[in-house]
Amino acid sequence: MNIDPYSNPLAFFAAEMKRMRAELGLTQEQLADAAMFSPSTVAAVETCRLLPSEQFAEGIDKPLNGAGHFIRLQKLVERTSMPPFFRERVEVERKARMIQEYESYQVPALLQTESYMRAGALARRPMFTEDALDRIIALRMTRQQVLELDDTQIERENPLHRLWAVIDESALRRKIGSPEVMREQYQHLLAKAQQANITVQIIPDSKGATCAYGRTFTVLTPESSSPIVYLEDFRNAHYVRERDEVAQYTLAFDHLRASALDDHASIDLLTEYINDLAQI
């Protein structure tokens, strides 16, 4: 991937990281070892597939003799790589001990594959520029790191304890991209559904109408503060903090869980979708 280093702050961060690593004669693996991150994370940041976290910037700054250069750049990258209304969602999500998400239209972003993300984003009108699309995908891929249970990662101060996703079956039936894209997405969702800190439940079409009437929402519960409900519309977002109103969304989520197949039956349904695609 040939990325113009002056096209955006993320591209500049990646170019500076690659340049200074090359000047010092370090491989990606050597830098990863010095920074205490995986080589795949170093490679992903260098190719603009992930946004550098604050911890990552701090980790690479010393072995690259950055003198704070990457720490300062990281703040600019983060500030310019996400819409203003979305920044709080990302901050709360990073510190959440529980994320409860209901999705009726597509697979939740935290559980999407990169190819599924790209295919879905291409439907937007007016269309994203290629640069904007790459940054959106990088942000989504970065958000997914809160779900990782990789022991090689630096232990987070506030690790995500659990994601509980309730998904309407209609989201699985909606074809986004090619059959190959959907097959990869089903397989990825199946693998995530079996991960220790993730629960996936599917509401079958046969259930008919449910209490949320297809309105997507997320309840984010930080480690040391009150839950927040995140609601997103076409170009903006709304945060619900009032305790009684948050309680209504929490109750709705409980009803949605009760309407859904349990986690084992949901895995069986996902397996059926994979098998059906295998016959195409």
Domain ranges across the chain: 9-80, 84-112+157-278
Give the CA distances from residue 260 to residues 40, 96, 231, 239, 256, in Å, rounded to whole numbers and listed in that order: 36, 24, 21, 26, 6
Query: Quick one: which of 178, 28, 205, 158 has its CA closest to 113?
Result: 178
Place of tokens 């997320």: 218
CATH number at 84-112+157-278: 3.30.870.10
**CB distance 103 to 171 below 8 Å:** yes
Cβ contact 108:51 at 8 Å: no
End-to-end CA distance of the chain, in Å? 32
Instruction: Tell which wins on pLDDT, 280 or 245.
Output: 245
Per the document, the length of the chain is 280
Q: What is the amino acid identity at position 232?
A: E
- For 207-263, the pLDDT digits (tens) are 999 999 999 999 999 988 899 999 998 778 999 999 999 999 999 999 999 999 999
At 70-122, the pLDDT tens digits run 999 999 999 998 888 898 999 999 889 999 999 999 999 999 999 999 999 98
The token duo for 87 is 């920044």
- Taking the model in full, what pTM does it have? 0.86
- Which tens digits make up the pLDDT trace of 158-200? 445 799 999 999 999 999 999 999 999 999 999 999 999 999 9
53 and 142 in contact (C-beta within 8 Å)?
yes
Rounded CA-CA distance 208/214 in Å is 11
Structure tokens at 50: 């992930």
Per residue in 8-22, pLDDT (tens digit) is: 999 999 999 999 999
What is the C-alpha to C-alpha distance for residues 44 and 28, in angstroms, rounded to an integer?
A: 10
Q: What is the CATH number of domain 9-80?
A: 1.10.260.40
What Å distances lie between residue 199 and 53, 109, 132, 202, CA to CA? 26, 15, 31, 10
